[in-house]
Chains A and B, each alone.
Chain A
Amino acid sequence: MAQHKVNYTQDGGLPVALTSIDKIVNWGRSNSIWALTYGLACCGIEMMASGASRYDFDRFGTIFRASPRQADVMIVAGTLTKKHAEFIKRLYDQMTEPRWVISMGSCANTGGMFNTYATVQGVDRIIPVDLYLPGCAPRPETLQYGVMLLQKKIRANKAGNAQKPKRLM
């Protein structure tokens, strides 16, 4: 029996870890951020590249979902036109809480180079944004880093409380 003796006082002695509810819930949340596929223009290509095998988003637990009801984060990748604005609002409303929004690329941040009548000058005019990624288009590394910062943000929140309503207005 002696060789099977378990040392309870040391890390890894047993598959038991002591932690708080906050930490375990946030561990679950932050490591399974399912993203809504929201490629609107060229930035969408970089978002797809991040999901493909070279950059491998799956190892962050970020899996792209085609339905807002299964998604935690909306990665707005690309140019938001005024015609499309009402749909992004509707999809955002359909996402279950807690939910986050990453605005990817200059177009989504500020309208970018499309200083025209048909482009929304920044998605934050329509929905609240958690993280802005600069670039035209941002590299997949930027998106990965953004997701890691989002994980950090999630860990900083209390898990028990409902998410504070992030409202534009």
Chain B
Amino acid sequence: MRTYTNKKNVQAKPYYTDRFWKAPQVAKYEVESDEVFAADLAAIKAKFPVSDAFIQVEQMTVWINASDIYGVLELMRDELAYTQLSEMSAIDFIEQRDEFEIFYQMLSMTKRKRIRIKYTIKNGQAVDSVEKLFRSADWSEREMFDMFGIEANAHPFMKRILMPYDWQGYPLLKTYPLQGDEFAAWYEVDKIYGKEAREEIGPEIRDTSTIDRYDSERFAKLGHEVPKGTEITGDEPKNEQNYQEEGGVFLIKKFDKDSSKVIDDPQR
């Protein structure tokens, strides 16, 4: 069994610590090593500034400026046959550089190639919506807003998509505690019963490894259950839980194992 550590103060610390093993970067290759990508990159470079481009795991990544995103995606869709925006979202680099990386994952069905367009924005900046180009960006941009708080300019319905509309905080930020902040912990109680009910309902029990054997409010020893709130001494009698009272039930015949026929031949 894992050794027990008290997790009571885990939420007080910021969630993001450098406890994850950092995988070494996948090897990067020159764009010139692939003809199709080289042609695509040349077409993009002819119209927009590109700060970096390379191939990783058979996909090309192109770094552009944040203001060019609509133009680049339009060019890729209409002239380079990248007709599908399969995914887009943000990555939180606030702690390192006070900025977000935004990525757009493009797929060409005819060329059978994928390109990733990337750029960075400063924390607090908004991005340009590409919802007019790709309908799939509609929900992706709303999700990005929901999870990171990055707004998309000119989006037709810039609201949260997964969390409730009245939620506070952006859950995918690295600084957001996994088990929720104060607002999240009391969200349902505040909303349904009001703040006054907090005391009566009590805080959430997040530490799942605590079991108090002498707590008869929340726990029961299986087979030795007692009524809620009883003082527990430790020598509670075993109580047989059966689903029918001894005296039998009105209009229902009590099942008797001894007088019933048991068929245990699987080939019967």
Interface residues of A (CB under 8 A from B): 17, 19, 23-24, 27, 82-83, 85-86, 89, 110-111, 115-118, 120-122, 125-126, 145, 148-149, 151-152, 155, 168-169
Contact = CB atoms under 8 A, between A and B. Distances in A.
B46 interface: no
Given A85-B188, A118-B171, 7 more contacts: A27-B252, A82-B188, A125-B188, A149-B243, A155-B249, A168-B200, A169-B193
B178 A89 contact: no
For the complex of A and B, 9 pairs with smallest distance between CB atoms:
A117-B180, A85-B188, A148-B243, A121-B204, A117-B184, A23-B250, A169-B200, A83-B164, A82-B187
20 contacts: A23-B250, A24-B250, A27-B250, A27-B252, A83-B164, A85-B191, A86-B191, A89-B192, A110-B205, A115-B206, A118-B180, A121-B205, A121-B206, A125-B188, A145-B243, A149-B241, A152-B243, A152-B245, A155-B249, A168-B201
B67 interface: no
Contacts of B187: 82, 85
Given A117-B176, A148-B243, A149-B241, A126 B200 contact: no
A152 B244 contact: yes
Contacts of B164: 82-83
Interface in B184-211: 184, 187-189, 191-193, 197, 200-201, 204-206, 208
Contacts of A152: 243-245
Contacts of A89: 192
Contacts, number: 74
Interface in B149-171: 162-164, 171
Contacts of A85: 187-188, 191-192
Contacts of B245: 152, 155
Interface of B: 162-164, 171, 176-181, 184, 187-189, 191-193, 197, 200-201, 204-206, 208, 241, 243-245, 249-252
Contacts of A121: 204-206
Contact of A27 (B180, B184, B192, B251): B251
Contacts of B252: 27
A165 B164 CA distance: 31
A151 B244 CA distance: 9
A34 to B, nearest CB: 19
Contacts of A110: 205, 208
A115 B179 contact: yes
Contact of A116 (B178, B241, B249, B251): B178
Given A27-B250, A148-B243, A168-B201, A86 B192 contact: yes
B193 A151 contact: no
Given A83-B164, A85-B192, A125-B201, A117 B177 contact: yes
Contacts of B180: 116-118
Interface centre among A83, A116, A122, A145 (most CB of B within 10 A): A83
B160 to A, nearest CB: 10
A83 B187 CA distance: 9
A125 B189 contact: yes
B179 A117 contact: yes
Contacts of A126: 188, 192
